Amino acid sequence: MSTWDELIKAVGPVSSIRDLFLKARSAGLNVAELMNNYLRSEPLFNFIGLEFVEVGDGFVRAVFPYKREILRKGGMVHGGVIMTVIDTVLGTAVMTVNDGVDQYTAELKVHFLEPLINGPFTVEGRVIRLVGTWPLQRPTCTMQIGNYAQLELVPGLWCEIISREQWPQEIPNTY
């Protein structure tokens, strides 16, 4: 399986993204491997080499290699690659608790405290709590790369889409 459509075909009709993950697990499917098949079908994630190791309720662990293609001058991982990995890992953690049909990242801030060098890197994202009401959910997330935190992640804002007809008109100020 390499696409969302194939995954949905395997588990049957679903009412939300969360329902998709729950049905896949109850059908005995390896959710991390299903997500890896999806990542391999996407050129950007395939290029980075991102792989999911564990996908649970509100939690994702992934790895990515230290390789020339994602480095900038000085031998450190490019900040855009780091942000892509963070958004993907944390976004997937949010997906596992999302009762809507889709989602998007409305806000994501990172303070880069140290350069990423000498990988491979382990990335963990966890939804600590959801605050707010439909369609906005504000998960407070943790991010760890390697054995110690090298990034300070300001809580992000993910918007839950209940149906395709209900897009929010504007994103409220979260400060």
Sheet strands side by side (includes 151-161): 102-112, 151-161, 136-137
DSSP alpha helix (H) spans, the chain: 4-11, 17-26, 31-41, 43-48, 79-95
Cβ neighbors of 104 (< 8 A, separation 6 or more) are 158, 159, 161
Cα(40)–Cα(44) distance, integer angstroms: 9
Domains, the chain, ordered by start: 4-161 (3.10.129.10)
Please count the other Cβ atoms lying within 10 Å of the Cβ belonging to residue 3: 12
| CB 14, CB 23: distance < 8 Å | yes
Beta bridge partners of 144: 124
Residue 136 has what pLDDT? Answer: 39
| CB 39, CB 46: distance < 8 Å | yes
At 81, phi and psi to the nearest 5?
-65, -45
Burial class (CB in 10 A: 0-12, 13-18, 19+), 50: buried
| Side chain identity at residue 110, one-letter code | V
Residue 170 has what pLDDT? Answer: 47
Q: What 3-state DSSP class applies to 8?
A: helix
Cα(127)–Cα(21) distance, integer angstroms: 15
Residue 104 structure tokens: 């998007």
Q: Mean pLDDT per 10-residue run, the chain (175 residues)? A: 67 83 88 88 93 92 92 90 89 84 78 79 79 45 46 54 47 44
Nearest Cα neighbor of 135 from 108, 107, 109, 169 is: 169
